[in-house]
Amino acid sequence: MVTSGCGALFYPRLPTVHNASTKELVGDWTGPDGAKVTLERDGRAEVRNLGGEDWDFDEGWGLSGTGTWQLIKGASGETIGGAPAVQISITNVTGQIQRPARDIDEWTTAPHTPIGQYTWEFGMERTKEGLQPYYLAGEPDAPNLYHLKRT
């Protein structure tokens, strides 16, 4: 799904969910380019080859590592649409990949310096498949939404 907007005053309207529970989020998820995310009941998280969000995605890298996750309440300007969000903080990076350039990319990916830690904030959308966390990648005024799908 691609969402677009125009100019600084016209950000795209993004899907939000205000009644998600941590119970709905626990489990294994897959993401773009073969990424994997595991969210444990006790707040531990593991990611494998998960790309950065927003502008970081354009640099074409992905991380593997462990850390924590939580459902944060959000407020105006703090999360996507001020709605609750899934925050994943990786503090133990165990690997980093560089995604090869693809035909759809408008940029040139170059090797990225090693990353020691990283935090994502996932918005959430309810679809016919159930709750789906997503993160934004690329130009913030016209972002791409990359959903995680339950495995």
Distance, CA of 131 to CA of 148 (rounded, Å): 9
The CATH number of residue 111's host domain is: 2.40.128
For the stretch 113-126, pLDDT in tens is 778 899 999 999 99
Give a yes or no: residue 7 inside a domain: no
Are the C-beta atoms of residues 33 and 151 closer than 8 Å to each other?
A: no
Structural domain of 38: 22-150
Tell me whether residue 9 is in a domain.
no
Structure token digits, residue 6: 């125009």
Q: To which residue do tokens 């959430």 refer?
A: 124
Number of independent structural domains in the chain? 1
Q: How far apart are CA 74 and CA 139, in angstroms?
A: 22
pLDDT digits (tens, 9 = 90+) for 23-77: 999 999 999 889 999 999 999 999 999 988 877 777 778 899 999 999 998 765 5
